[in-house]
Structures are given as C-alpha cells and as structure tokens.
C-alpha cells in the first residue's frame, strides 16, 4: 500500500495514495494504524483520504479499528479529504463523537484540511439543515 507518513506539528498525517481501500489492502492499513499509534501515543492521527475513491466494508473496518485503537491510546483519529457521500455514511448513528471528520467538498489546501480544531463529528452536516 502506498502511504506517505509525515509529522506536522503535534499530528501524524497518513496520506493514502490509493484509489481503493478494500479486502486486498485493509489489513496492511490496520497494521500501520496500530504501529503508528503505538509509536506516537497521544498524538493526533490524521488520515488523508483525498485520493481514495472506493472503500468497502473491510476498509471501513480498518478505519474503525484505527478509531478504537486511537481512543485506547489517548489519540484523536482524524479523517480528512473525503467526499460528502462518505461523510453522510459516517454520520449514521453509532459512531464516536470523539473522532473528527473533515469532508473535502471544496478541496481545501493541506493546512485548511487539517486545522488545529477540526469539525467535530456531526457538526455542520448539510443534510440536517
């Protein structure tokens, strides 16, 4: 799996350079989340999904695993750069409000996409207006 790992201030940014997260690569992604979280406990983990165009149930499972493991290590799990359709899926009941999800409806720059205080999960959802 092609992933760029960068440290930006107090955050670790994982930029996924894949079009798909599915059964073929979700295990590797899950392992990487765990490794980074163990090495960088307490830091925010930002997942840049800008280039991801498809994610299946195993890919969602990898993201949820990362979310769970981040919470266990006092880290925040931040998703950025995804489509509004993906945002609506994540805004279904049952997801943790301790996560931060930043949709990519306007294709903001990297600094805009990962602000120090991102939109809390569920805030500003256009479908609720």
Decide if 79 contacts 101 (C-beta within 8 A). Answer: yes
How is the chain split into domains, by residue range?
A: 3-128
pLDDT mean by block of 10 residues, the chain; 129 residues:
90 91 94 94 89 85 91 88 67 48 44 40 38
Task: Identify the CATH number of the domain defined by range 3-128.
Answer: 3.30.750.24
Residue with tokens 């995804």: 82
Environment class of residue 61 by beta-carbon count within 10 Å: exposed (0-12), middle (13-18) or buried (19+)? middle
**pLDDT at residue number 45:** 92
| b (16+ CB within 10 A) / e for 25-52 | bbeebbebbeebbeebeebbbbbbbbeb
Closest to 55 in 3D by CA, of 24, 31, 78: 24
Instruction: Scan for tokens 């990362």, then name that residue.
Output: 66
């Amino acid at each position: 799996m092609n992933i760029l790992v960068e440290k930006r201030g107090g955050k670790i940014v994982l930029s996924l350079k894949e079009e798909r997260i599915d059964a073929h690569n979700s295990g590797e992604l899950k392992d990487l989340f765990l490794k980074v979280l163990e090495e960088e406990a307490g830091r925010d983990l930002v997942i840049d999904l800008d280039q991801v165009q498809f994610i299946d149930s195993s890919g969602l499972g990898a993201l949820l695993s990362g979310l769970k493991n981040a919470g266990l290590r006092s880290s925040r799990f931040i998703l950025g750069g995804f489509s509004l359709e993906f945002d609506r899926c994540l805004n279904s009941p049952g997801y943790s409000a301790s996560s931060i999800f930043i949709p990519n409806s306007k294709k903001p720059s990297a600094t805009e996409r990962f602000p120090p205080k991102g939109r809390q999960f569920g805030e500003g959802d256009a479908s609720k207006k």
